[in-house]
Amino acid sequence: TKLQPIEQCGADFQQRLLQFFKSRGVDGPHLVALTLESDRSIAGVFPDWYRERPDRWSEAISKSLKVLSTESSNFDFANHVSINLGVIRRSRHIVVNVNESSDTAWRDVVAKFEAEELPKPRSSPP
């Protein structure tokens, strides 16, 4: 990204995204494509990022439309700009890529549900 620090880039993207929705008369995107990674991150929202500060989890799950500036030491690129669940929830269509490496993460989540450590999932990947 050309804007530094990464938080400035995220703020700029959030402003542009909200303006885009407003100018089109919509309250969210038509399509969101996400990937579930083997570390259980989804859409660039990394467990090590939100565990570091509790307020980050609140930002990630907020019903408000937000762009997040996240970081993780688990990937080649430490800094990421992502959308929160508020944006994802308002999407008309959501595509989740569950590849071979994320299959392990999915099975781990399902095992935790079965052990009653987490609420029951609504659906599973194909």
Task: Tell me the whole-structure pTM to 2 decimals.
Answer: 0.68
Q: Which pLDDT score, from 0 to 100, does residue 22 have?
A: 92
Q: How far apart are CA 77 and CA 29, in angstroms?
A: 26
pLDDT of residue 73: 77
pLDDT at 87: 92
Give pLDDT, residue 111.
79
Q: Where do runs of H (alpha helix) occur along the chain?
A: 6-24, 47-52, 54-61, 85-89, 100-114
Q: Which portions of the chain are predicted below pLDDT 50?
A: 126
